[in-house]
Amino acid sequence: MEEEDRKRPSSHEVGMALDVLSVEELQDRIALLEGEIARIKAAIAAKGDSRRAAEAAFKI
């Protein structure tokens, strides 16, 4: 079976086998995951901002 014939995973799953992926595909996964980390950090920051605003509004 040639490399092009192997089925490539369409998404990344934590703990998945990495030995079937090329260096380029691994680099793409890193970029994908770094983007997701940045998105999650932004969501955390937004939730913190909302909480601080709510606390300030209800402070006596």
What does the chain look like in DSSP terms, one character per residue? --GGGSPPPSS--TT---TTS-HHHHHHHHHHHHHHHHHHHHHHHHHHHHHHHHHHHT--
Domains of the chain: total: 1
Q: Is the confidence at residue 25, as pLDDT, over 80? A: yes
> In this predicted structure, what is the pLDDT of residue 2?
54
Average pLDDT of the residues in 1-12: 60
Task: Answer yes or no: is 47 within a domain.
Answer: yes
Q: What is the pLDDT of residue 55?
A: 79
Give residue 13's pLDDT: 85
Q: Which domain holds residue 26?
A: 22-59
Structural domain includes residue 27: yes
Per-residue pLDDT tens over the stretch 43-60: 999 998 787 887 788 875
- The average confidence (pLDDT) of the chain is 83
